[in-house]
Amino acid sequence: MNLQEAMAIYLPLIENGLRRALASPRPTVAQHHGMMHYHMGWVDEQLEARPAAGGKRLRPLLCLLTCQAAGGDALTALPAATAIEILHNFSLAHDDIEDNSPTRRSRAALWTLWGVPQAINVGDALFAIAHRTLAETLQQGVAAKHVMQLTQAFDATCVALTEGQYLDMSFEQRMDVTVDEYVEMIAGKTAALIGLSAQLGASLAGAPDWMVLHFREFGRHLGLAFQIEDDILGIWGDESATGKSASTDILEKKKSLPVVYALGSDAGPDLQAIYRRPALTAQDIAPVLRLLDAVGALGYARRMAEEAHQSAQAELAATGLGEAALTAVRELAAMLRGRSS
């Protein structure tokens, strides 16, 4: 099965799984769940059915594809895949508040519409429901001992997410962030959850531990590459493709990889002088871009992303699985690599 065929089958299953997991249990909390449904892209701000972009469901798709690649029945991994996507959406809901980002997927963010208190609580509910959904793996006939292993991996990822987010926020005040620290940050904030997606899929296929670890590392490297490419798009991306204005990350003074690299290079002092200002304006973009260009920050970031992609491929090869089994997984990795948004 190639990626296109897999997406045609799995994406509707994922969406059904998400809808079932997030259904309101009773009328008194219907609005609480309605806000979740808005965040998932199913309803508008009046909570009336009007589909919007709800995200690409990459993580649950990866989970199902790795399960299938490792010889399992992808359906066994559906609760885990659903739990992962809900966990991802929990982190987006809180990130938007923490980053003061008023929009998400070209619509108003949760907190913009319903205020910070409700948005925090909706995020917490998504966090709680993600855990509840993972436990439903028991109903797939998977042994409790196995589900507990998945639960512990899931919990470790949740902790890693908050560590990555802590580091990201702590970087805002600092000019001396190293590339190693940056990698630690995105390992927690982005790569851990993509690694988990591949890990749980392979584990639920009954793959041996060593193979599960290769899948996890595949996902982790893919996640690192994904985030670095996101950093590149955040500075040099095509506005019409990314949906957020180019250079947004400069205006927000984000310590993304190109900036971290340049701050530690010859351009460091000049870049610091700009980044120490309380706020940047459109006029600061060109000087920042010139400094990044002068030290080859784009090339550096591209090489880092390329290395992460190659590591991901090496991990995939180390699973020892044949090309036919890995087709859809490889295509998904290639799709992420080629994306412009």
**Binding positions for its own copies, rule: CB under 8 A:** 28-29, 31-32, 94, 97-100, 116-118, 120-125, 127-129, 131-132, 135, 138, 143-145, 147-148, 151-152, 155-156, 158-159, 161-163, 165-167, 169-170, 181, 184
**Helix (H/G/I), strand (E/B), else coil: 253:** coil
**Helix (H/G/I), strand (E/B), else coil: 48:** coil
**Closer residue to its own copies, CB minimum distance, 77 or 295:** 77
C-beta separation of 7 from 61 below 8 A: yes
Please state the closest distance from residue 204 (CB atom) to its own copies, in A: 15
Distance CA 303, CA 276 (A): 28
C-beta separation of 292 from 316 below 8 A: no
Sign for the CA dihedral angle at 263, 267, 272, 274 comes to negative
Please state the closest distance from residue 179 (CB atom) to its own copies, in A: 14
Q: At what angle do helices 268-275 and 282-294 cross, to 10 degrees?
A: 160
C-beta separation of 177 from 171 below 8 A: yes
What's the one-letter identity of residue 231?
Answer: D
Exposed/middle/buried for residue 110 (C-beta within 10 Å: 0-12, 13-18, 19+): buried
**Closer residue to its own copies, CB minimum distance, 5 or 124:** 124
**Closer residue to its own copies, CB minimum distance, 29 or 273:** 29
First vs last C-alpha separation in the chain: 26
**Closer residue to its own copies, CB minimum distance, 102 or 117:** 117
**Closer residue to its own copies, CB minimum distance, 31 or 103:** 31
What's the one-letter identity of residue 83?
Answer: A
Please state the closest distance from residue 112 (CB atom) to its own copies, in A: 15
Distance CA 22, CA 320 (A): 38
**Closer residue to its own copies, CB minimum distance, 127 or 218:** 127
∠ CA 290-291-297 to the nearest 5 degrees? 105
**Closer residue to its own copies, CB minimum distance, 152 or 340:** 152
Please state the closest distance from residue 88 (CB atom) to its own copies, in A: 13
**Closer residue to its own copies, CB minimum distance, 70 or 187:** 187
C-alpha dist (Å) from residue 158 to 61, 165, 193, 201, 207: 19, 11, 8, 17, 23
Please state the closest distance from residue 26 (CB atom) to its own copies, in A: 9
Please state the closest distance from residue 85 (CB atom) to its own copies, in A: 17
Please state the closest distance from residue 331 (CB atom) to its own copies, in A: 32
Sign for the CA dihedral angle at 272, 276, 282, 284 comes to negative
